[in-house]
Amino acid sequence: MARVEADNFLGPGSESLVPHSRVPSCPSVEVFDAMSKVISLREIIAALDAASDDCTSYLDPETGEIVVVTEEERALAEDPCWEEAPAWQREMMPKIRAALESDRFLELPDRFDIHEWSIMERFSRTQNIEQIRSELLNAIHGAGAFRAFRSAIRRLGLEQSWYQFRDEALAEIARSWLEEHKLQYT
């Protein structure tokens, strides 16, 4: 379990993934639940960016805290003997169990909801030069599509454009999810 801190969650060398200057800070004009805390869009984006197969992220709308639960922690929380776990694991169990069992916590979109392949396809289709567009679209088909795509954008000098496009796509997913749950954000 971890609390996502957008400024340092991704670690050194990943500043281009969620730069502060590109994250919109204007909430939607919809009616929001007055009982909820104002949620950090930047933290939601960071959690979406970190989504993986072996963990699930949950938002506590009352506090704005994001709780990340690994498969190992989930299994431990479901084990009737979890109280026999080491002290450091037992300390995390109340929040993990609350995230898993409480109706208050909301599960954030996972890797499959984000569907990075479709983001890569949309990016490829936005390329104005036919040769580049074709090369990128070819790269995302077949085995190793993600690796081939990353190699192609690097070779074509499109890394910065790709990460900006991807960041904007994640921001849109985050905004849509927050608005769907009627949560106010900044």
Tens digit of each residue's pLDDT (9 = 90 or more) over 33-83: 445 689 999 999 999 999 999 999 999 999 999 999 999 999 999 988 888
Q: Give the per-residue pLDDT at 12.
A: 35
**Residue 116: how many other CB atoms lie within 10 Å:** 15
Name 135's bridge partners: none
Comparison of pLDDT for 26 and 178, the residue scoring more: 178
Instruction: Round to whole Å and give the CA distance between 43 and 18.
Output: 10
Instruction: Round to whole Å and give the CA distance between 134 and 124.
Output: 8
Among positive and negative, which fits the CA dihedral 132, 17, 27, 69? positive
Q: How large is the average pLDDT for residues 116-129?
A: 97
Q: Give the per-residue pLDDT at 90.
A: 87
Evaluate whether 48 touches 169 at the Cβ level (below 8 Å): no
Percent helix, strand and coil across the chain, each to the nearest 5: 50, 10, 40
Find all residues with CB under 8 Å of 82, minimum gap 6, and list them: 76, 89, 90, 93
pLDDT band per the 50, 70, 90 thresholds, residue 166:
very high
The region of weakest confidence among 87-101, 122-136, 147-161 is 87-101
- Asked whether the predicted pLDDT for residue 28 surpasses 70, the reply is no
Comparison of pLDDT for 96 and 35, the residue scoring more: 96
The pTM score is: 0.75
